[in-house]
Structure formats: C-alpha cells, structure tokens
Amino acid sequence: MTKHTFKDVPGAVTAPQGFSASGVFCDIKRIGTGKGSNKGQKPDLALILSDAEATVAGMFTTNQVAAAPVKLCVERVARGTTRAIVINSGNANACTGKTGLKDAFAMADHTAACLKLQSEDVLVASTGRIGVTLPMPNIRNGITDAAARLGNTPTHADQAAEAILTSDTRRKQVSIEFQLDGKTVRIGGMCKGAGMIQPGMSATGARPMALPSAGLHATMLCFVTTDARIGTRALQTALRSSVAQSFNRITVDGDMSTNDTVLVLANGRAGNKPVTRARAASKAPPARIRDAQQFQAALDHVCLTLAKMIVRDGEGVSRFVTVRVSGARTLADADAAARAVANSALVKTSWYGGDPNWGRIIDALGYSAALVHEDKVDIGYSSPGSKKVIYSLKRGQPTKTSFKTLCEQVAGPEFELHIHLNLGTAGALMYSCDLTEEYVDFNKGDVSDPASLGG
C-alpha cells in the first residue's frame, strides 16, 4: 500500500477554492436574548456556499424515524449537484410530521432567495431536540443574516463550525492540501456530535443488511468541501468507502440518531482531470489510478480525523479506546464482536475505572453474534503509536503479566484493545470511549428547565 501524505492547511470548509461559510445566532432554542443576530450567544445557524455548481454525495441515518431535513437531502442529493447547505442546531426537526417537512423545504427556499439560487440547489441539516417544530421566524432571520455574512476566511469557517455544535465542547474541523493531476487540491471539513452516537449510514437512508440493526444515537453531522473535480458517481463511491471506515465505525453510547448526515460538495475549481471511480480506475492509465487512490486516501483521512474528534469529545468521555478485532470467521462476525465490546455498559465502565477487566470483554464477545471459542481468545493492549501489545489473555488463559502492568496499559487517555478470535482471517475495528458519571449526569437533564433537555 502506498503511504499518502497531506499538508495541513487552515480554513476548514473554506480552505478549498470557491467556498464561503458563515455562522450566526438566531435563538433557535428561543432563549429570548437574540433577534436574528449574534448577541454574544453561541451561534446556532450555519451556511456553506459554493460559488459554482458542485457535485454532491451524501450518507444518511438508516433510522426508520428519519428527520425532515434527511428526507429533503436524500431527495435532492439524488439530483447530483448542489450549491449550498443551511444547517441549524438546537432543534432536530425530527418527528415533526408534515409541518417539519414543510419547514425544512422553507429553510431551503429562504436560503435560495437570499443567495439568488434555485431552492433545489440548497440542502438542509438540523440537530437538537426531537419532536419540537422549528421557530421559523427566527430561522428566517438567521438565514438572512448568515447570507449577508458569508466569507472565506478561517474565521468564517470557525463561526460555521461553532454554529452546528450542540453538547460538543469544541469545534471539529480539518483541512488538507495535496496534488492531483499536477494541480493543487484541497479538502476541508467540519462536523459535530457528542451523544446519540453510533451512526449506521447509507446513501439512501434505507437499511442495508450489513449495517448494525441495534445500537447508535446524538446526531452526528459532517460537511466536507473540496475543489477537486470529480463526477457524482465517483464521489458517492468514494464517500461510501470513507464513511464505512470512519463515521460508521464510531460509538459513544450505541444510540443511532434520526438526523445523522454526511455531505460532500466538489466544485471542480482546482481544474484537475475528473477523478475516476477507484474500481473503474483499474482499466485507466496508471496516473489516473494514482489520482483516484490519492483522492480516496485524502477523503478517508478527512472523514477519519473528524470521526475520531467526535468520540474524543463524546459526552463525559475521559478515555478514547480503539477496539481491534482480528481472526474472526467472517467480516460480519468481526463487526459483531467489535460492536458488542465497544457498546457493553460493563466494559465501558471498567475503562472509566482504569480496570483492565478482560472478564467483561470475553463475556461481551460470548454474547455477541460472532462465533467465539473461549480457549482461542487473545486479549491485549497497546499505547497509541506503539506496536507493542501487552496481553492479559492468550488462548483463553490469563498471562503472567501483573495486574499493575495491565492497569498501566489502560491508565492513559487513549489506548488500543486488541482481540484475536483465532478462528479465521476477518477483522474489524470500532472507535469507542468510556461510560462516565458525567455522561449520565448530562443526559438525565433537568426537567425543571425543559430548554436544557437534549436530543
């Protein structure tokens, strides 16, 4: 495998040529201190605009209770091109019935009017509490304001990245630069998500069998921009592959949201020859194959970087754990084993306590849908960046490694858990985290202050 390297650049979603962004406060939670402009409150409405028609690809929650903006996006992404995205936080516009759907389209209509676009060229995303209709006057004021404030500086990107957050404690952004066909190409991205996190997304929102049927929840939203030139089908293929190895491999609390959305816009301003599909590239000239691989690697890097940021900033999270399963009989087994461990309440509380409790891990493997033979299982730990695995269990037998040494492996803020089932050659990984009292405290909310209650 080729090792791809990318140069970090500033600007996030505004780093690629031809993209501008903004973020404003319009009081979507109706706290009552704003009138469509930022009065020092956290911004809650963001815009992203491409100055030229962009090809678009999307991946969406497979939750059967999909939010109104997800339904709008599934329909409009199928058109293949777009110009702008309007995003609000503070209200998911989910379980809001016909009013919700009308509101989502009205958000696009008003954005199009402000930006002199066709409504069909605008996509919509929302995150926040479920079951409350949007305060449309505030939203309209916010859109008007955001359209007037669009710009392509890192500050503009920061404001947009801030506006999409809910329970997140920090902005999540990345932007990189690389070469394609002799041209300089950039990809930028921003995302949000902190709870109700175990996305299982597909391109149509419908549920393929391979996706987790249990698990997942807080909405994750991700918006990626690039000035690469790439056709719709190639972009969708590349995004599906990137999401499968990033956002669909994370879990905070095993709950899948009604609003999970990833959108990529490619406006071609870099002027490269169109990137082909990675598979189709096998009959293409070597230079085109290299370009397709380079673009895929770059998109993978952006998605994985953002996905990991979500887990690290998960609600109440104190430890980030990479669960690596290998030696499974089938890929489905590997996935089931990794998800069972990554979502076990008892495993996650032991991580919180810094307890290298392999008993709870093998228990979770045993009740997973994966074939497991107790006397073949290895369980070990490694530190980030280290290739050395310290085993607590080998072929089902505790090793002679001391409890103190094992505790040291799980004491840091990040570690990797290695599970070998020794029954085959399939592997899978999940990015997970501990379950803490802070998560419980945050999510129990405060019913005396309904505005404080989360999604």
Q: List the catalytic residues.
A: 219
Site residues for a second copy, window 207-236 (CB under 8 A)?
213-217
Kindly tell me which of 225 and 436 has the beta carbon lying closer to a second copy: 436
Kindly tell me which of 136 and 284 has the beta carbon lying closer to a second copy: 136
Kindly tell me which of 8 and 374 has the beta carbon lying closer to a second copy: 374
Among 148, 287, 369, 451, binds a second copy (CB under 8 A): 369
In the complex, the smallest distance separating the C-beta of residue 436 from a second copy, rounded to whole angstroms, is 6
In the complex, the smallest distance separating the C-beta of residue 417 from a second copy, rounded to whole angstroms, is 16
Residues in binding contact with a second copy, number by CB under 8 A: 75
CA distance 117 to 122: 8
Kindly tell me which of 14 and 91 has the beta carbon lying closer to a second copy: 91
In the complex, the smallest distance separating the C-beta of residue 398 from a second copy, rounded to whole angstroms, is 6
In the complex, the smallest distance separating the C-beta of residue 169 from a second copy, rounded to whole angstroms, is 18
Among 52, 210, 407, 451, binds a second copy (CB under 8 A): 407
Kindly tell me which of 63 and 81 has the beta carbon lying closer to a second copy: 63
Q: What are phi and psi for residue 328, nearest 5 degrees?
A: -80, 160
Q: What are phi and psi for residue 157, nearest 5 degrees?
A: -65, -40
Among 344, 391, 426, 433, binds a second copy (CB under 8 A): 344
In the complex, the smallest distance separating the C-beta of residue 131 from a second copy, rounded to whole angstroms, is 5
Site residues for a second copy, window 45-64 (CB under 8 A)?
62-64
In the complex, the smallest distance separating the C-beta of residue 256 from a second copy, rounded to whole angstroms, is 4
258 near a second copy, judged by CB under 8 A: yes
In the complex, the smallest distance separating the C-beta of residue 407 from a second copy, rounded to whole angstroms, is 5
In the complex, the smallest distance separating the C-beta of residue 203 from a second copy, rounded to whole angstroms, is 18
Among 51, 53, 363, 414, binds a second copy (CB under 8 A): 363
Q: Under a CB-based contact definition with an 8 Å cutoff, are residues 252 and 194 in contact?
A: yes
| The 3-state secondary structure of the chain, one letter per residue | CCCCCCEECCCHHHCCCCEEEEEECCCCCCCCCCCCCCCCCCCCEEEEEEEEEEEEEEEEECCCCCCHHHHHHHHHHCCCEEEEEEEEEEECCCCCHHHHHHHHHHHHHHHHHHHCCCHHHEEEEEEEECCCCCCHHHHHHHHHHHHHCCECCHHHHHHHHHHCCCCCCCCEEEEEEEEECCEEEEEEEEEECCCCCCCCEECCCCCCCCCCCCCCECCCEEEEEECCCECHHHHHHHHHHHHHCCHHHECCCCCECCCCEEEEEECCCCCCCCECCCCHHHHCCHHHHHHHHHHHHHHHHHHHHHHHHHHHCCCCCCCEEEEEEEEECCHHHHHHHHHHHHHCHHHHHHHHCCCCCHHHHHHHHHHCCCCCCHHHCEEEEECCCCCCCEEEEECCEECCCCHHHHHHHCCCCEEEEEEECCCCCEEEEEEEECCCHHHHHHHHCCCCCHHHCCC
Among 118, 374, 412, 413, binds a second copy (CB under 8 A): 374
> In the block, which residue shows the tokens 């921003």?
190
Site residues for a second copy, window 276-335 (CB under 8 A)?
none
Q: Under a CB-based contact definition with an 8 Å cutoff, are residues 379 and 418 in contact?
A: yes
CA distance 159 to 44: 9
Site residues for a second copy, window 183-212 (CB under 8 A)?
195-196, 200
424 near a second copy, judged by CB under 8 A: no
Kindly tell me which of 11 and 455 has the beta carbon lying closer to a second copy: 455
Site residues for a second copy, window 113-172 (CB under 8 A)?
129-131
At 334, list the tokens. Answer: 């590997």
Site residues for a second copy, window 65-124 (CB under 8 A)?
65-66, 92, 94-95, 97
Kindly tell me which of 413 and 445 has the beta carbon lying closer to a second copy: 445
Which positions from 1 to 40 touch a second copy by CB under 8 A, shown as an x/- string? ----------------------------------------
**Range in contact with a second copy (rule: CB under 8 A) among 6-14, 150-158, 326-334, 373-381:** 373-381
**Range in contact with a second copy (rule: CB under 8 A) among 52-60, 116-124, 248-256, 425-433:** 248-256
Kindly tell me which of 13 and 67 has the beta carbon lying closer to a second copy: 67
